[in-house]
């Protein structure tokens, strides 16, 4: 049996510039992304008992079938095809966060599954290879209109500046940080679940990348400001302002789906009660609302939003890893 553990992520700036439609026309796209200690787990094991079905797949559904082509879950189906898995196998997955919630769960699952399958096949590969393959399967093979940052954030973990070049190569550079600054950010960041699930691909399809090119350039320009905060070259208090400016830019990308009345009301209420800035995670439309709130003021925020689930979190610095390996089972 093999268990992989892969971090979900928050993205602070540049989201949208990791879409091929943007970075292939603008020389590059760039984001700053952080892995967090909320995880998605994938369990892969050989079938011990003889059954009537070769493949047993447990996700939000339970699948039993004998042909890989019969598997409904597209990522699992294409990954098993890629690794030429013909023997009886079981795959299960579960996550610390709801699906379609803006924390990159789909891409995180792809990375975690590939990592587990590499271990299953006794193949060692780099984090870059895993991220590249995950992006290839989702974007090129399955034709999903999504960005590439989530695959690299999940595979590498940590705090990274990720550049997407027009020739489809990706450069992942760790952001150097002061420990005291990271400790403060971890205390002051909170995630609130809006209870709205959304489809990232549908939201991205409503963005006119030609008309919104300048907006995306400004969003990419924010990356430098966030990096300076981590490096201690800019005041940590500026992070709320940067998040607020970034959220306004993001909403300008499309009048459809990125925000809605519930999100606008929640964000406005949070700012009136201590939050200095924030944003909806991922493509928008729902999922998790990231807020920067001084630790001393968070109880007030939590009381106001008592009917919405909260996530406290820390940064994950390891990325996707195999947490259990036993080739006998």
**How far, CA to CA in Å, does 311 sit from each of 100, 160, 185?**
16, 22, 14
Can you spell out the DSSP letters for 216-253? HHHHHHHHHHHHHHHHTSS-TTHHHHHHHHHHHHHHTT
Cβ-count burial of 283 within 10 angstroms (0-12 exposed, 13-18 middle, 19+ buried)? buried
| The pLDDT of residue 227 | 97
* Domain 179-311 architecture: 2-Layer Sandwich (3.30)
In the predicted model, what is the mean pLDDT of residues 8-25? 92
The share of the chain scoring above pLDDT 70, in percent, equals 99
Q: Which backbone phi and psi does 293 adopt, to 5 degrees?
A: -135, 130
d(CA 318, CA 304): 34
Is the confidence at residue 202, as pLDDT, over 80? no
Q: Give pLDDT tens digits for 118-143.
A: 999 999 999 999 999 999 999 999 99
| The pLDDT of residue 50 | 66
Q: Beta partners for 13?
A: 32
Token pair of 99, please?
């699906």
| The pLDDT of residue 205 | 76
Is the confidence at residue 316, as pLDDT, over 70? yes
What residue ranges do the domains of the chain occupy?
A: 2-176+316-325, 179-311
Using DSSP, state whether 322 is helix, strand or coil: strand
Is the confidence at residue 245, as pLDDT, over 80? yes
Domain 2-176+316-325 -> CATH class = alpha beta
Beta strands in 169-302 (DSSP E): 170-174, 189-193, 275-280, 288-293
Q: Give pLDDT tens digits for 138-170.
A: 999 999 988 899 999 999 999 999 999 999 999
Report residue 201's pLDDT band, with 50, 70 and 90 as the boundaries: confident
Is the confidence at residue 49, as pLDDT, over 80? no
Is the confidence at residue 244, as pLDDT, over 70? yes
In the predicted model, what is the mean pLDDT of residues 272-290? 93
Is the confidence at residue 329, as pLDDT, over 80? no
Average pLDDT of the chain, as a whole number = 93
Can you spell out the DSSP letters for 137-155? IIIIIS-----SHHHHHHH
Is the confidence at residue 51, as pLDDT, over 80? no
Is the confidence at residue 315, as pLDDT, over 70? yes
Using DSSP, state whether 46 is helix, strand or coil: strand
In the predicted model, what is the mean pLDDT of residues 255-268? 89
In the predicted model, what is the mean pLDDT of residues 223-232? 97
Q: Give pLDDT tens digits for 85-114.
A: 999 999 999 999 988 889 999 999 999 999
pTM value is 0.94
Can you spell out the DSSP letters for 69-117? GG---HHHHHHHHHTT--S-EEEEEEESS-TTSSS-HHHHHHHHHHHHH
| The pLDDT of residue 141 | 96
């Amino acid at each position: 049996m093999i268990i992989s553990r892969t971090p979900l992520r928050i993205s602070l700036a540049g989201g949208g510039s990791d879409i091929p439609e943007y970075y292939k026309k603008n020389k590059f796209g760039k984001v700053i992304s952080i892995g967090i200690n909320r995880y998605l787990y994938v369990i892969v094991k050989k079938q011990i008992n003889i059954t009537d079905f070769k493949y047993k797949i447990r996700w939000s559904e339970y699948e039993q079938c004998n042909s890989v082509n019969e598997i409904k879950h597209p990522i699992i189906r294409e990954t098993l095809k890629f690794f030429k898995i013909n023997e009886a196998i079981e795959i299960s997955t579960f996550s610390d966060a709801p699906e379609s919630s803006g924390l990159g769960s789909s891409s995180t699952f792809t990375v975690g599954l590939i990592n587990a399958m590499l271990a299953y096949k006794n193949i060692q590969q780099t984090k870059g290879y895993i991220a590249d393959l995950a992006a290839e399967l989702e974007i090129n093979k399955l034709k999903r209109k999504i960005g590439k940052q989530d695959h690299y954030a999940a595979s590498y973990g940590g705090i990274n500046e990720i550049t997407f070049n027009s020739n489809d190569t990706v450069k992942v550079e760790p952001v150097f940080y002061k420990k005291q600054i990271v400790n403060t950010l971890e205390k002051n960041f909170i995630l609130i679940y809006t209870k709205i699930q959304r489809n990232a691909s549908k939201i991205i399809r409503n963005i006119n990348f030609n008309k919104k090119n300048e907006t995306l350039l400004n969003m990419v320009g924010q990356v430098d400001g966030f990096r300076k905060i981590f490096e201690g070259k800019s005041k940590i208090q500026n992070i709320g302002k940067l998040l607020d400016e970034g959220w306004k830019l993001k909403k300008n990308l499309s009048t459809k789906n990125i925000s809605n009345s519930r999100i606008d009301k929640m964000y406005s209420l949070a700012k009136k009660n201590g939050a200095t800035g924030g944003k909806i995670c991922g493509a928008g439309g729902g999922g998790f609302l990231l807020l920067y709130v001084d630790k001393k003021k968070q109880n007030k925020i939590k009381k106001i939003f008592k009917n919405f689930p909260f996530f406290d979190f820390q940064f994950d610095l390891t990325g996707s890893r195999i947490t259990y390996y036993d080739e006998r089972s």
